[in-house]
Structure 1
Amino acid sequence: MTTSRALRVGVDIGGTFTDMAILDDSGIVAVGKTLTTHQEPAAAVEHVLRQTLHEHRLAASDITSVVHGTTLVTNALIERRGAPTALLTTEGFRDVVEMGREHRYELYDLGLELPRPLVPRHLRFGVRERVLADGSVDTALDTTTVRQLAVELADAGVEAVAVCFLHSHTNSAHERQAREVIAAAAPHLRVALSSEVNPEIREFERSSTTVANVYVQQLVETYLDDLRGRLRGIGLRSDPLIMLSNGGLAAVDVARRFPIRMLESGPAGGALGALAFGSTAGRPDQLAFDMGGTTAKLCMIEGSRPLVTHTFEVDRVYRLRQGSGLPVRAPVIDMIEIGTGGGSIARVDALGLITVGPDSAGSEPGPVSYGRGGRHCTVTDADVVLGYLDPDGFLGGDMVLDAAAAAASIEEEIARPLGIGVAEAAWGIHATANESMANAARVHAVERGQDPARVPLFVSGGNGPLHGPGVAVALRSPAVVVPPAAGVLSALGFLSAPMSIDIVRSRHAPLGTVSPDTAQAIFDEMEDEGVRLLDQSGVPAAEVQHERTLDMRFVGQGSEVEVPVPPLSGGWREDLAARFAEQYRQRFGTVAPEGVETEILTWRVCSRGPDPSARLRLAGTDTASDALLGHRDAYFPASGHISTAVYDRYRLDPGAVLSGPALVREKESTLVVPPAARCTVTEDSSILVEFTQGEPR
């Protein structure tokens, strides 16, 4: 057993694998990966933690903190596995969640499918009450109806109630009164108020977000209690910290109140890991690419900051069609998700073309090569046939892959229908996946004013190093950066995140009417709430920092631009107007029109604690041994199958230089270095892949 030391653990539950990374003051000391157990997600966490501690002779008593991210909330909304939920709203507005914006996301599709609301119409009820837009009360709340509904809903088996009254973001008195009545009449009902979950304008988005929050609350509470119990059983002394989708952390009890803020907590870790490595290496701008077993995610990082959006859609009918999903108003690191991962199923379409995804074999049953009952060939099966993955060394040898079964599946489903060889078919699957991800990355970058050919591609995820070089070639990116432990980078990224919470208020006012004193009073109230919530997560008030922004627009516009707030001095309004004009120019590529009045819609404060000290590099490498493990045949289209050097990532010192073709293997991922490329191990243990002559093939 090692001597006592402080260990920090990051855990990410993905659609296919559950990943783990353990750090101490010297860097990364251990990583682990196991198949996700979808029926009991916490069971995979317990298994991989016990296994990793045992393999590396680490003591559970030395663990000082566990940071956890998960796709549990996203999956529950997609699979409709939440609690039976009802909606109470202002009389006459029960159908807002179904009418939505009355927008056709695909104008000419006569068979257009719209997202199905989480609450069916027979569980949506209008209640007599009315608060006006200025916050004044026009009609008092009908508490008798609320009381009767609470009793009837509880008797009918409803377990959760969302309360979303008109204009409650300006006056929440009726919503709070309704909660008191429901609690007295049916104390077992969970209640969520829109004025607490999402106190912003726009009834559809506010209602949808509040419903989603309470819909998954019981599921999240049960899961977090199970996770907490299992970790205590292992010997941990403190509760886990929960990763939020905005890139910050919160205590378990805070996450239980607002589970919707965990919506994209897993993918956020990959962006945070890219940010941490980029800051250390002096790369303020990069395109973060995370490819796992089910999906791939892309995120632009500009000026050492990931872009953040405040609206996200879940359960889209068409994955890449905005407007085809359920809107959720919560701060989320802005990324695009593509249905292409290692488990994505490949097939030949009606035009005789190879397509990949978006459906996935996941971890149950998984790719054909897993030998767990998978029947359709996948991207991972193609990578096995191409020789990129070692069938006997997958997950460090913990899982043996069936290369023959993978080849047979590709021959039957792809090669034979197209009249080509198995290797060519496997390369077609691999290349199609690369091009699909590159197309999405190109659109994502250009829409944000960036040229992907000018920024390096930072790759992570179990399949990121396998496909990153090919994606970079399609994008004409100058280089590929592969961090250490790339296959579990999301779990590593969690450990670089500060405690954080976002506070939002809608206070609509023309800019010319808002004095510095009024603005200061609003921000003070919001910052006090941020301090209180972070105090529940153990952050002293003296260590909390606040970042202020405003959502602004020209009078009469339908969308807003988020603007950083200048110091609240006498010339505050002029400074803010100038910042709005600059943000407008960057966003739309045109100078803001003169003489048009601007207005403020939404006030935002991001309250955060200090950044943790996390050294994201390998704690030590076994350089006493030769890094060259041997050679294996791998396929490259220009030369076919050729003998390719295989290196051990853990034996490569900073400064080491390798030429392609080569395979660099670590437990949870493999880097494919194409023939026309070379790679260098940098000071932070990352591998920098540069293309030396033409385009690698």
Structure 2
Amino acid sequence: MDRRLRVGIDIGGTFTDLIVVDDRTGTFWVAKTLTTPDDPAVGVRRALIQGLELAGSPAEQIQAVIHGTTLVTNAIIERKGDKTALVTTKGFRDAIEIAREHRFDMYDIFIERPKPIAPRRLRFEIDERLLADGTVYRPVDPAEVEALAERLRREGVEAVAICFLHSYRNPEHERQVAAILAERLPGVRISLSSEVVGEIREYERTSTTLANVYVQRIVEGYLDRLQRSLTELGSRARLLIMLSSGGICTVETARRFPVRLIESGPAAGALAAAYTGRLVGTPNLLAFDMGGTTAKVCLIDNGRPMITTEFEVDRVYRFKKGSGLPIKASSIEMIEIGAGGGSIAHIDQFGLIKVGPDSAGSQPGPACYGLGGTRPTVTDADLVLGYLDPDFFLGGEMHISREAAEEAIEREIARPLGMSVIEAAWSIHQLVNENMASAARIHAVEHGKDVRAYPLFASGGAGPVHAYRVAEILGVRQILCPFAAGVGSTIGFLAAPLAFDFVRSAYARLDQVDWDTINALYAEMEGEGRTLLAASGVPEDQVTVTRTADMRLLGQAHEISVPIPLGVLGPQSEAEVLRAFETVYRDLYKRARPGVPIEIMSWRVLVSGPEPELRLRRQEQSGGARQKGERPVYFPELGGFHPTPIYDRYQLRPGDCFDGPAVVEERESTVVVGPRGHATVDEHLNLVIRLE
């Protein structure tokens, strides 16, 4: 049978989104169902069945399923992983709890720090020691490890993270201990820090290794259930998983390194924005993805999302950097805000309206869903303001109640504050917009960018509803809303290449680098990457290699990522690397570097296959009117509710244009065009809104 279909699946906090693409014709179909938090695989199966029915194709025609999930993040936040122990060097048992000297809130004497995954009673020491250059100072005593294995068995430990001092320079001790424990503790998952993240900084490396092994069993079980569901539907499709870095990997890699999947869902949204930007010739974008639980903002520069090598999960204070567990892994850099459609509005102790970070999710959902939720959310406010049609939510498959939304807002917000329901709903709506705009502005400034120079790319079920006001606050003059924006992140899955990244720490001053050692490190990492890609079916001549290094001024605490030339490096490379550092430094800080030496902490390689060819073509719809009706929609600058034309997204054609105010509806999302907006449909069916 002709296996011509590819499927992208994104599990969000409220909805599970899916796209089915026919690679032969470019025709695509989308599906959206409520997420099933107790077992996300159930929601995936429902969405897949729905998508195949729309495509009129059997599951046998699927060649690949690319998937992103919040499963790892949720398991860590909810602490639903395995009973995990840490095995570390003698004297360093408490390093994971001591963490860094930095306090994320200097003046809070009751500050709460993130709790390590391994409690103190499950942190064990081995009397071994490596020196900073990787040479052995004190070898491993096998008898000591065997005795430790008995203690771990008595404690009922299900997973073990091994993290020895300086093992990134020499992994032999970790491997010795792992071999003994694996023999005596069958069925216990074991992760080595030298394999999970072969990089300097003990605290971050240990935290990442603990997180990896803590969720390994959960991820293995989930991927097995997902693969089984595909088989039961009659599909022999290859299952691939999105990495936080924006590449995709095999199930085998995901099972071994699940910590690399933490930001897999949000990464796809950024890739979708980058793909669309390249397609329409707008390589610089501010990607704004607002779903049911959170909103994410990411800068796209030169057609590529920015990448970071460290982020946090399970923050004690959700939006305070430093209050979470650090994860050392490559990830698309974005800022997340607790401002999704399901974010709950409430009155704080000072009598002010606040929105989020708590979310109604898919269960019980916003009050208007009628599924048990009683507290007002952003979706409830948008419905009361007329931005959403209660009879056309999910294309009419799911009816939502304006009366229930008004009742929730009246009870929780309007009546206590002496406001009308409409005033309260507008306050909720605009407060969310201000929060998102503020976060986007800070995110841009931190990277030395002027956010006003970046057109806004709006995706997610709620993104296009709020994009106009967010752009207005930011001073952005152009908004790009793709077709099927409500499931936009799924497109990112299909645009991502197979890719793996590697890192080795080898400290050196730039003027004292042993280039033979660095050439050997790069050759080792590149060889490992090429082997993985070859095993995944990527031809050798289609492999792309990118090199970077983490560099800083002598004595600084943090590094910046600098491109490193390919080929054999030598003394002649010093000047080229220095110029690259100065360029990145100037772009970031808007000043020339001080005249002090440069040092390099770690060396990185990204090995990737070709980007899949993705040319989407919308199915032709039967003839119909562009404007399908009119309804009162709230625009305060027009005096309140204003008769507003409602356009059918499926009847719009390239070249169509209209002025705001207007509302454009499609099954998975709604675009709100404010009074200053002028909308045009481009050749790729994107809705381009310019603010006059």
TM-score band w.r.t. shorter chain: over 0.9
Distance (Å, rounded) in 2 between the aligned partners of 1:85 and 1:4: 46
Which range moved further: 342-351 or 454-463?
342-351
1:447 aligns with 2:415: no
Distance (Å, rounded) in 2 between the aligned partners of 1:96 and 1:78: 21
Which residue does 2:674 correspond to in 1? 674
1:15 aligns with 2:13: yes
The AA in structure 2 aligned to 1:573 is E
The AA in structure 1 aligned to 2:597 is E
Residues 254 and 533, structure 1, Cα contact 8 Å, conserved in 2: no
Residues 21 and 28, structure 1, Cα contact 8 Å, conserved in 2: no
Residues 448 and 589, structure 2, Cα contact 8 Å, conserved in 1: no
List per-residue Cα deviations over 1:638-665 (Å, max 9, x = no partner). 3322222111111110111022121111
Which residue does 1:230 correspond to in 2? 229
The AA in structure 1 aligned to 2:179 is E
Which residue does 2:645 correspond to in 1? 645
- SS of the residue corresponding to residue 240 of structure 1 reads strand
Distance (Å, rounded) in 1 between the aligned partners of 2:648 and 2:55: 18
Which range moved further: 104-113 or 142-151?
142-151
Which range moved further: 209-218 or 238-247?
238-247
1:658 aligns with 2:665: no
List per-residue Cα deviations over 1:554-588 (Å, max 9, x = no partner). 33222212110125365211111121122222222
Residues 621 and 652, structure 1, Cα contact 8 Å, conserved in 2: no
Residues 618 and 685, structure 1, Cα contact 8 Å, conserved in 2: no
Distance (Å, rounded) in 1 between the aligned partners of 2:469 and 2:26: 30
List per-residue Cα deviations over 1:446-477 (Å, max 9, x = no partner). 11111111211001000000011111111010
Distance (Å, rounded) in 2 between the aligned partners of 1:600 and 1:350: 48
Which residue does 1:172 correspond to in 2? 171
**Where in structure 2 are the equivalents of 1:576-615 lying within 5 Å?**
576-594=577-595, 596-615=596-615
Distance (Å, rounded) in 1 between the aligned partners of 2:351 and 2:127: 59
Alignment RMSD: 1.4
- SS of the residue corresponding to residue 329 of structure 2 reads strand
Distance (Å, rounded) in 2 between the aligned partners of 1:331 and 1:316: 19
Residues 370 and 400, structure 2, Cα contact 8 Å, conserved in 1: yes
Residues 465 and 670, structure 1, Cα contact 8 Å, conserved in 2: yes
The AA in structure 1 aligned to 2:538 is V
Distance (Å, rounded) in 1 between the aligned partners of 2:236 and 2:262: 27
**Where in structure 2 are the equivalents of 1:229-628 lying within 5 Å?**
229-567=228-566, 568=569, 571-594=572-595, 596-615=596-615, 617-622=616-621, 624-628=623-627
Which residue does 2:629 correspond to in 1? 630
Distance (Å, rounded) in 1 between the aligned partners of 2:682 and 2:350: 45
- Offset of residue 618 of structure 1: 4.1
Distance (Å, rounded) in 2 between the aligned partners of 1:28 and 1:19: 17
Distance (Å, rounded) in 1 between the aligned partners of 2:614 and 2:315: 36
Which residue does 1:695 correspond to in 2? none
Distance (Å, rounded) in 1 between the aligned partners of 2:264 and 2:483: 21
- SS of the residue corresponding to residue 299 of structure 1 reads strand
Distance (Å, rounded) in 1 between the aligned partners of 2:515 and 2:115: 44
- Offset of residue 125 of structure 1: 0.5
List per-residue Cα deviations over 1:505-548 (Å, max 9, x = no partner). 01112222335444322211110011122233332333211100
Taking structure 1 as reference, are residues 163 and 241 closer, same or farther at Cα in structure 2, changes over 3 Å only?
same
Distance (Å, rounded) in 2 between the aligned partners of 1:68 and 1:378: 28
- Offset of residue 140 of structure 1: 0.8
Which residue does 1:140 correspond to in 2? 139
Residues 35 and 363, structure 1, Cα contact 8 Å, conserved in 2: yes
The AA in structure 2 aligned to 1:575 is E
Distance (Å, rounded) in 2 between the aligned partners of 1:665 and 1:28: 20
Which range moved further: 305-314 or 136-145?
136-145
Residues 621 and 653, structure 1, Cα contact 8 Å, conserved in 2: no
Distance (Å, rounded) in 1 between the aligned partners of 2:364 and 2:684: 37
- SS of the residue corresponding to residue 558 of structure 2 reads coil
- Offset of residue 298 of structure 1: 0.2
Distance (Å, rounded) in 2 between the aligned partners of 1:29 and 1:359: 34
Which residue does 2:22 correspond to in 1? 24
- Offset of residue 610 of structure 1: 0.4
Residues 623 and 652, structure 1, Cα contact 8 Å, conserved in 2: no
Residues 5 and 24, structure 1, Cα contact 8 Å, conserved in 2: no
Q: Structure 2: 5+ residue runs without aligned partners?
A: none
List per-residue Cα deviations over 1:36-66 (Å, max 9, x = no partner). 1011111100011101211332222221111
Identity of aligned residues (%): 53
1:206 aligns with 2:205: yes
Residues 161 and 209, structure 2, Cα contact 8 Å, conserved in 1: yes
Distance (Å, rounded) in 1 between the aligned partners of 2:652 and 2:20: 20
Distance (Å, rounded) in 2 between the aligned partners of 1:60 and 1:632: 41
- Offset of residue 502 of structure 1: 0.4
- Offset of residue 102 of structure 1: 2.4
TM-score normalized with structure 2 length: 0.97
Q: Structure 1: 5+ residue runs without aligned partners?
A: 693-697
Distance (Å, rounded) in 2 between the aligned partners of 1:319 and 1:276: 30
Distance (Å, rounded) in 1 between the aligned partners of 2:120 and 2:559: 32
The AA in structure 2 aligned to 1:640 is G
TM-score normalized with structure 1 length: 0.97
Distance (Å, rounded) in 2 between the aligned partners of 1:623 and 1:47: 27
- SS of the residue corresponding to residue 603 of structure 2 reads strand
Distance (Å, rounded) in 2 between the aligned partners of 1:137 and 1:479: 60
Say how many residue pairs are matched.
688
Distance (Å, rounded) in 2 between the aligned partners of 1:445 and 1:550: 23
Which residue does 2:689 correspond to in 1? 689
Residues 19 and 51, structure 2, Cα contact 8 Å, conserved in 1: no
- Offset of residue 186 of structure 1: 1.1
- SS of the residue corresponding to residue 235 of structure 2 reads coil
- Offset of residue 349 of structure 1: 2.6
The AA in structure 1 aligned to 2:654 is P
Residues 314 and 326, structure 1, Cα contact 8 Å, conserved in 2: yes
The AA in structure 2 aligned to 1:120 is P
List per-residue Cα deviations over 1:336-361 (Å, max 9, x = no partner). 00011000011223333221111111
Residues 623 and 653, structure 1, Cα contact 8 Å, conserved in 2: no
The AA in structure 2 aligned to 1:59 is P
